[in-house]
């Protein structure tokens, strides 16, 4: 067994223990697939990543490192919070010395993973820096009425709650619902046994839903037009911030996500890949603005915050804070 640098990172939060935890083995060189999977199972965290040198082709294309992403049961081609958390840990361990800063003070890191090369921006903000990854290309399609109804029933959604639904594929295969109110999102109590069967029948690894808060009354978007504007975009679920950091604006989108795991179906604290695919869908269809702040984890005691921005070229960026909670070594 070899002693290897290790970090445990909390992602999509500026406050430790309110986001989504990630184990990062800083040097996965020489480990077999079985060893990686065994360690990931032992951590019992949503995901564990292993950092490696980039492949020759990826290095030639500018990749700084390669990451392999494991749940407790299988390897993933891509995932959002492991992307940001791994990059945060890599930078914390000296990777920043390998990164060039542009004229606007923005750093660009290139990560290699099984879906290919993922670009990550590191941008200065008051109190520190924030990372954002370029959302991978999305494949999406309209679901059949049967698939939509089966998943909705398992979640506890009635037909009148659903504004739109979509199959989403950006590495992981997910299913998304857009629903009519914040209360609909926060009040769900899924039938987990039924949901596990429904996910298998639908051929997706997870299902989630989003509510987009109404904009100002002057906004003529067909989604908006509601007078309550959901208590001024979730003013009651503001995230705390460390000393010296100015809190961000209140979230105006609420997300929940459920996925199969070793113990059946569970709710994810914050899901970067799902937020990425939902953002691309919602913005493209005019259901959401090109910049918004999403909250996730509210119902399970977390305060995840996901910053979504679409740039002038149409690229959607998914950003969030990360904090290192444990730094040390592990033997694998």
Residues involved in catalysis: 47
Whether the Cβ atoms of residue 255 and residue 294 lie closer than 8 Å to each other:
yes
Residue 223 neighbours by CB distance under 10 Å = 18
Smallest CA-to-CA distance from 132 within 239, 299, 279 is with: 279
User: Among 244, 250, 239, 168, which residue's Cα sits nearest to residue 205?
Assistant: 168
DSSP 227: S
Number of H helices, E strands in the chain: 8, 18
Residues in CB range of 127: below 8 A, 6 or more apart: 14, 241, 242, 244, 245, 246
Look at residue 230 and give its three-state secondary structure.
helix
Dist CA 106 CA 119 (whole Å): 12
Whether the Cβ atoms of residue 153 and residue 295 lie closer than 8 Å to each other: no
- d(C-alpha 205, C-alpha 295), whole Å: 21
Identify the DSSP state of 254. Answer: E
Q: Tokens 């460390």 appear where? A: 242
Q: In whole angstroms, give the CA distance from residue 251 to residue 238.
A: 8
For residue 76, what are its two tokens?
């993933």
Q: Phi, psi (5° rounding) for residue 212?
A: -105, 120
Give the number of residues written for the chain: 332
Residue with token string 């008051």 = 126
């Amino acid at each position: 067994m070899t002693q290897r640098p290790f970090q445990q990172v909390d992602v999509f939060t500026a406050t430790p223990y309110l986001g989504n935890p990630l184990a990062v083995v800083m040097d996965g060189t020489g480990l077999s697939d079985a060893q990686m999977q065994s360690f990931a199972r032992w951590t019992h965290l949503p995901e564990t990543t292993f950092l490696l040198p980039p492949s020759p082709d990826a290095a030639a294309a500018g990749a700084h490192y390669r990451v392999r992403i494991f749940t407790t049961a299988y390897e993933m081609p891509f995932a959002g919070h492991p992307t940001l958390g791994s990059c945060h840990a890599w930078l914390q361990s000296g990777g920043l010395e390998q990164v060039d800063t542009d004229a606007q003070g923005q750093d660009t890191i290139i990560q290699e993973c099984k879906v290919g090369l993922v670009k990550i921006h590191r941008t200065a903000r008051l109190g520190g820096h924030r990372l954002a990854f370029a959302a991978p290309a999305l494949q999406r399609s309209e679901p059949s009425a049967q698939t939509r109804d089966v998943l909705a029933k398992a979640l506890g959604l009635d037909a009148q709650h659903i504004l739109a639904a979509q199959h989403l594929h950006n590495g992981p295969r997910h299913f998304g619902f857009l629903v009519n109110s914040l209360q609909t999102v926060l009040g769900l109590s899924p039938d987990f046994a039924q949901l596990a069967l429904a996910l298998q029948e639908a051929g997706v690894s997870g299902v989630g839903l989003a509510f987009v808060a109404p904009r100002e009354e002057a906004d003529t978007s067909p989604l908006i037009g509601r007078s309550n504007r959901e208590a001024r975009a979730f003013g009651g679920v503001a995230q705390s911030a460390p000393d010296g950091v100015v809190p961000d604006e209140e979230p105006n989108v609420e997300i929940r996500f459920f996925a199969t795991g070793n113990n059946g179906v569970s709710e994810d604290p914050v899901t970067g890949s799902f937020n990425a695919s939902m953002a691309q869908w919602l913005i493209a269809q005019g259901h959401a603005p090109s910049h918004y702040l999403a909250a996730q984890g509210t119902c399970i005691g977390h305060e995840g915050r996901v910053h979504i921005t679409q740039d002038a070229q149409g690229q959607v960026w998914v950003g969030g804070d990360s904090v290192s909670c444990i730094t040390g070594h592990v033997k694998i």
